[in-house]
Amino acid sequence: MGRRPQPEIKKRLLDACTDHALEHGLPDRLEPLARAAGTSTRMLIYHFSTRDVLLRAVLENARQRQLTTFADLLRVRPGEPYPVTLTNAWTFITGPEGQPYLRMFGQWRESAAQQLLPGFRRAATTDWLEPLEEGLRSIGRPELATLTLAVIRGLLMDLDATADHPRTNDAFAHFMRTLAN
How much is the pLDDT for 106? 67
Nearest-10 Cα torsion for 85, 91, 96, 98: 50
Question: Mean pLDDT lowest for which of 14-28, 30-44, 76-90, 96-110?
Answer: 96-110
Going by C-alpha positions, the residue among 93, 82, 9 that lies closest to residue 44 is 9
When pLDDT is averaged across residues 34-62 and rounded to a whole number, the result is: 94
DSSP 62: H
Q: Provide the pLDDT for residue 113.
A: 57
Cβ contacts of 37 within 8 Å, gap of 6 or more: 12, 13, 16, 17, 20, 44
pLDDT band at 79 (very low <50, low <70, confident <90, very high): very high
Task: Enter the pTM of the model.
Answer: 0.82
User: Is residue 2 a contact partner of residue 47, using CB atoms and an 8 Å limit?
Assistant: no
**Predicted local confidence at residue 123, as pLDDT:** 82
Of 37, 32, 29, which Cα lies nearest the Cα of 13? 37
Q: What is the mean pLDDT of residues 35-64?
A: 94
Domains of the chain, earliest start first: 7-180 (1.10.357.10)
Question: What CA–CA distance (Å, rounded) separates 20 from 16?
Answer: 6
pLDDT confidence of residue 2: 56
The reported pLDDT for the residue numbered 1 is: 47
Q: What is the pLDDT of residue 110?
A: 52
For residue range 115-138, list pLDDT tens digits in order. 777 777 788 788 899 999 999 999
Q: Percent of the chain beyond pLDDT 90?
A: 72
